[in-house]
Amino acid sequence: MNPEHVNPVRPDPLHADPARPLPGTGDRAVVVTRISDTQWHAVQDDRVVGSGDASRRPDGRLFVSVDAWHDEVFDRVAAAMSADLPEPLHTLTDEADRDTTAAWQRAGFTTVRRERGYLLPTDPQATGLGAVRPPAGVTVLPAGQAQEGPLRALDRIVHAEVEAGPGWPAMPAQVLPCPAGTTVVDPARYAVALQDGEYVGLLRVAPLRRPRIGMLAVRADHRRRGIARVLLAHALESMHRAGTASAWADVAESNTAATALVEGIGARRAGATLELVRH
């Protein structure tokens, strides 16, 4: 990491004396050390008692996380990371995990967005999507059948439209880090909608224990024609045929169109994720 882009160390009582004993950990000193550009360790008696990690997302946001048993260790690692890294810094917490959210708030982070988690039924009888038909001239290529070149071109168009419109801070934050300039990591995960042979919409599914719909997008000049609904119907029916009863989707609370789409097919709210930021 270029040191010119690292903020100077702020006066911070937790960071100023990294070797002093911490309450609740006995009289043994806990030392926080940055072991790489993206990792920190809190060590006590040669044993790692906490760690921190930073990762840059494809949209440019820098996300941090801390793993520690004791609040005092969490605070120490979070303070060290905040001092070492350029702001803004982002993090994610489960809304139900009030202790972790409070820990990040102690470190100067505030909530900027809320994503609702939804369980989507896959059975067409439950979703009501069994009767959905594509608009005239629209066909759907199942996952794994799209040509990589046109798929990447469509993905670049979608990303440009997001950046020109609401911006990535308004998009779901559950995005895996990937190489700079790369957003389509595995083309086989995408179903694609074609309009008269042109790629106009895409849906990505992450093959987790419960499949996660990671992205559903349609080009701006082809919206409001039901293409997103057709892609969703296709993906859920494919999961149903494979024996999967439900899928997961994260929807930003502010995205009223996506909320209406998933709740309209009987999706059930199942928790929420908070994104917090420190400026």
Q: How confident is the model at residue 255 (pLDDT cuts 50, 70, 90)?
A: confident
Q: Answer positive or negative: Cα dihedral of 229, 235, 236, 238.
A: positive
- At 137 the pLDDT is 92
Q: What is the pLDDT, as a whole number, of residue 229?
A: 94
* Confidence bin at 159 (pLDDT 50/70/90): confident
Give the mean pLDDT of 242-260. Answer: 91
| Domains of the chain by start residue, with CATH | 3-87 (no CATH), 116-272 (3.40.630.30)
Label residue 24 by pLDDT band (50, 70, 90).
very low
Residue 66 has pLDDT above 90, yes or no: yes
Residue whose token pair is 């309209």: 264
Q: What pLDDT is attached to residue 114?
A: 92
- Which pLDDT score is estimated for 231? 96
CA gap 42, 82 in Å, rounded: 15
Give the mean pLDDT of the chain: 85
Least confident residue range of 12-26, 170-184, 245-259: 12-26
The pLDDT tens digits for 163-220 are 776 555 555 544 444 455 556 668 889 999 999 889 999 999 988 788 999 889 999 9
Count of C-beta atoms within a 10 Å radius of residue 83: 19
Per-residue b/e over 203-233, b at no fewer than 16 CB within 10 Å? bbbbeeeebbbbbbbbbeebeebebbbbbbb
Give yes or no for a contact between 50 and 73, defined as CB atoms under 8 angstroms apart.
Answer: yes
* Interval 217-227 mean pLDDT: 93
d(CA 34, CA 171): 31
Query: Band of the pLDDT at 9, cuts 50, 70, 90?
Result: very low
Per-residue pLDDT of 114-128, as tens digits, reads 999 999 999 999 999
